[in-house]
Every structure is written in structure tokens, then in C-alpha cells.
């Protein structure tokens, strides 16, 4: 790992976040609060590991805090400590990240009969959160120490379980040539705006990462020379956590935009029957702004569409107002109005049948196309 991460002291027991960009480990380096503490490093914008930081007094004690395991949910950590009131030498604890502050909460002792008067630690939890594996020197027949460590398994009780987690598997290609693309893929929580993970695709264009269910996400890709990609996908009803959610993504080269089909702004949301943009739209608007700032030679046409529910004239007006709302949001972010156009098509250009809710949902959309500005 190099001198940025390693020191002359004991540095060991690493655990990686599901996207491979955060690493938590135990160390006895200068700056520990006790004998050994949990520390974290992460990759910066250049993909290099930064100088580790101590996880702080909420997690670390004056004793030894060791064997961290960060679950693939990215929000639950398990570790062992002998610096807290407990049942024996080393007890197993777990902590969760606060959804609002992003800080680790006060650790909870996992309890008896897992923790005993002897040494327990090294706990690892299955992807679905139901099974846990750990080491202990406890002889559960005699109640005495074996003197050596054995591995045990148990059904993890509900309160100590991580968030239900599955994984995403994807491929990114050039939409024109089919060439596999290396690029950065970000997954964001649509409601909170939090970036859940960031991964870089392999040379074959593939990527894989864990992700918690029960949330609504946006997959965002930005690569020089290509249109940005933002796809909304709902994980709230995912039941089969052992099967990956597949994302096969084709990026259009920017120069091919005039020939390409309109791009749907899948993460632009409006209040029902209204042209008022919802807060969840900020991510998409910011990405669109970034694209236009990088290509000052390009203009953009925003087009609104509706389903066929209601009066045709009202639908046409609503689609025009929604497109204009996106244009105004771009102007507020510094994009010149001379580069922006808007139009509404109402219910006249459906993508699917209006006979089902699923079809109507596809028809309610906001799209854009780029065009070359005249010099």
C-alpha cells in the first residue's frame, strides 16, 4: 500500500468498502487514542490513497480496537474491542452510520452468548445479513478458554443485521462501435443525494459492486468525449438479493449527438400535475450544467412529454411548462439563455401504450438533444 498508508508501526486487518474506494484497518501508529485504533483511508480524484484518518473516539477507545469488517451495505461495521465495558477480554461490537450526519454511531455490544469472558473477534457477516462467522477461544462445553481460536457460525439476530444488500453488475460500451469503455461509474441515492459508491470499469467495460435494497438510485457516468449518462432505477422491491441487478449501458459520442435519439432525463422529477421541479432533480440538472459548461459550442433543446390522461390542451401546456422549468434551472446555474430552447409535445409522441400505468410512466418524460451552435 506504500508509505501513505503503512507506517513503521503495526498496520493490519484491512476491510474494503463495496466499491473498493474506502479501506478501514487497525493500527498502532502515532495518533492512536489507545493501543490499537481503527483508521480509514480512501481514494482521491486521481485514484490514489490519501493519508489515513482516525475513526475517532466514538469508535476507538483507550484499549485495543481491532478486526474491522465493513459490510457490503457500506453502512454497518463490526469489530472487536477490549476498551469498553464488556463480558470478557475482547468483545464484538457493531456500529452504523447515521443517515443524516454520515458519522458512526455509538457501538453496540453484540451480546451473550456470542461474547463471553474469553476472547471473541474477527466477525464477518453474509451478504444477506442472516449468517455471521467469528473466532473465539471459548470452549462452549466447559466454559473455559481453549487457549487457541476456533471459528464459529450463528444466525445473526435482527437488530444486529446490516441493511439488506444485493449487488449491481454492469457493462459500458460505445453506442456506435460497441467498443468496451473504461470510465467512472457513480451510484447516487436519488432521495438523499448521497453518492453510494464510485467504481471504475475494468478494461472489458464491466463493473461490480454491492448496494443496499429498499432505495431509489441513479447510475451516473461521465466520460470525456461522450454524452453523460444518468439512469434511474428502483431497488425498493428487489427480493432476490443473490442475483445481480444488471445495467448494460451504451454511451453516445458527443459528436454523434445530432444523429442520436433524444436522451431522456430520467432523474428529473416534477410534482404531480405540476411543472415544479422536485429536490431529487438537482443531481440531473447539475450534470446537465456540467455537460454544457464543457461544451460551449453546443446548444440544447429540452422537450417535455405527458401521458394521455386529462385534456389534450392541458397536457400540451404542462409539457411546455415542464421543459421551460428545466431551462430556467440551467439559466440559474449560469448557462446562457441563448444556448437553450424548450418545447412541449404533450401526449402526441408516446413511447408506449397509455393503457397501463407502466406505459403511461414511460410516456411522462423530459428529453434533450444537443445541437451545434452557429458561429
Cell of 319: 409539457
The CATH homologous superfamily for domain 164-255 is Carboxypeptidase-like, regulatory domain (2.60.40.1120)
Query: What is the number of other CB atoms lying within 10 angstroms of the CB of residue 154?
Result: 13
* CA dihedral sign, ordered 320, 323, 327, 329: positive
Q: What is the pLDDT of residue 223?
A: 86
* CA dihedral sign, ordered 27, 31, 32, 37: negative
Rounded-to-integer distance, Cα 53 and Cα 33, Å: 12
Closest CA to 323 of 358, 367, 355, 363: 367
Query: What is the number of other CB atoms lying within 10 angstroms of the CB of residue 208?
Result: 15
Rounded-to-integer distance, Cα 165 and Cα 70, Å: 13
Answer CATH for 261-375 from 3.30.1330.60, 3.40.50.2000, 3.30.1490.190, 2.30.42.10: 3.30.1330.60
Q: What is the pLDDT of residue 73?
A: 87
Rounded-to-integer distance, Cα 274 and Cα 271, Å: 5
Cell of 31: 495518533
Q: What is the pLDDT of residue 241?
A: 62
Positions in the chain whose pLDDT score sits under 50: none
Q: Tell me: the pLDDT tens digits for 37-96?
A: 999 999 887 889 999 999 999 999 999 999 999 998 888 999 999 999 888 789 999 999
**DSSP category for residue 201:** -
Distance between start and end Cα atoms, the chain: 51
Q: What is the pLDDT of residue 260?
A: 59
Q: What is the pLDDT of residue 216?
A: 81
Cell of 337: 439563455
Rounded-to-integer distance, Cα 348 and Cα 214, Å: 35
SS3 at position 101: coil
Cβ-Cβ contacts under 8 Å for 224 (sequence gap 6 or more): none
250 class by beta-carbon count within 10 Å (0-12 exposed, 13-18 middle, 19+ buried):
middle
The DSSP annotation for 248-286 comes to: EEEEPBGGGGGGSPPEE-TT--B-TTS-PBPGGGHHHHH
Unique residue bearing C-alpha cell 495518533: 31
SS3 at position 316: helix
Cell of 81: 474491542
Query: What is the number of other CB atoms lying within 10 angstroms of the CB of residue 106?
Result: 10
Q: What is the pLDDT of residue 239?
A: 59
Q: What is the pLDDT of residue 246?
A: 87
Q: What is the pLDDT of residue 259?
A: 57
Q: What is the pLDDT of residue 257?
A: 59
Where helices occur in 176-311 by DSSP H, the ranges are 282-294
Q: What is the pLDDT of residue 365?
A: 93
What proportions of the chain, in percent to the nearest 5, are helix, strand and coil? Answer: 15, 40, 45
Q: What is the pLDDT of residue 180?
A: 95
The residue extents of the domains of the chain are 11-160, 164-255, 261-375
Rounded-to-integer distance, Cα 219 and Cα 221, Å: 7
CATH number of 11-160: 2.120.10.30
Rounded-to-integer distance, Cα 157 and Cα 170, Å: 33
Unique residue bearing C-alpha cell 453484540: 110
Amino acid at each position: 500500500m506504500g508509505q501513505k498508508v503503512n507506517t513503521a508501526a503495526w498496520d493490519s486487518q484491512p476491510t474494503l468498502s463495496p466499491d473498493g474506494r474506502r479501506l478501514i484497518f487497525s493500527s498502532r501508529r502515532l495518533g492512536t487514542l489507545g493501543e490499537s485504533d481503527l483508521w480509514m483511508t480512501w481514494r482521491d480524484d486521481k485514484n490514489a490513497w490519501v493519508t489515513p484518518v482516525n475513526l475517532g473516539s466514538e469508535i476507538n477507545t483507550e484499549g485495543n480496537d481491532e478486526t474491522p469488517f465493513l459490510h457490503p451495505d457500506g453502512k454497518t461495521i463490526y469489530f472487536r474491542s477490549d476498551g469498553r465495558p464488556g463480558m470478557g477480554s475482547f468483545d464484538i461490537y457493531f456500529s452504523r452510520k447515521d443517515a443524516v450526519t454520515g458519522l458512526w454511531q455509538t457501538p453496540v455490544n453484540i451480546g451473550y452468548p456470542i461474547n463471553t469472558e474469553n476472547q471473541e473477534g474477527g466477525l464477518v457477516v453474509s451478504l444477506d445479513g442472516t449468517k455471521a462467522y467469528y473466532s473465539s477461544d471459548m470452549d462452549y462445553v466447559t466454559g473455559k478458554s481453549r487457549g487457541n481460536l476456533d471459528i464459529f457460525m450463528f444466525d445473526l439476530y435482527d437488530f444486529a443485521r446490516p441493511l439488506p444488500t444485493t449487488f449491481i453488475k454492469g457493462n459500458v460500451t460505445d453506442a456506435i462501435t460497441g467498443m468496451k469503455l473504461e470510465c467512472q461509474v457513480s451510484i447516487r441515492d436519488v432521495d438523499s443525494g448521497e453518492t453510494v459508491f464510485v467504481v471504475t470499469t475494468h478494461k472489458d467495460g464491466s463493473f461490480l459492486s454491492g448496494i443496499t435494497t429498499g432505495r431509489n438510485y441513479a447510475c451516473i457516468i461521465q466520460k470525456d468525449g461522450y454524452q453523460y449518462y444518468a439512469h434511474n432505477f428502483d431497488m425498493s422491491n428487489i427480493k432476490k438479493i443473490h442475483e445481480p441487478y444488471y445495467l448494460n449501458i451504451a454511451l453516445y459520442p458527443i459528436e454523434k449527438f445530432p444523429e442520436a435519439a433524444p436522451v431522456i432525463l430520467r432523474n428529473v422529477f416534477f410534482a404531480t400535475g405540476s411543472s415544479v421541479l422536485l429536490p431529487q432533480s438537482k443531481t440531473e440538472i447539475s450534470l446537465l450544467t456540467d455537460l454544457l459548461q464543457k461544451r460551449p459550442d453546443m446548444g440544447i433543446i429540452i422537450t417535455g412529454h405527458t401521458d394521455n390522461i386529462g385534456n389534450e390542451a392541458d397536457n400540451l401546456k404542462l409539457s411546455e411548462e415542464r421543459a421551460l422549468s428545466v431551462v430556467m434551472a440551467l439559466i440559474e446555474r449560469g448557462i446562457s439563455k441563448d444556448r437553450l430552447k424548450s418545447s412541449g409535445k404533450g401526449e402526441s409522441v408516446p413511447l408506449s401504450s397509455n393503457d397501463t400505468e407502466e406505459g403511461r410512466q414511460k410516456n411522462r418524460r423530459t428529453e434533450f438533444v444537443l445541437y451545434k451552435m452557429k458561429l
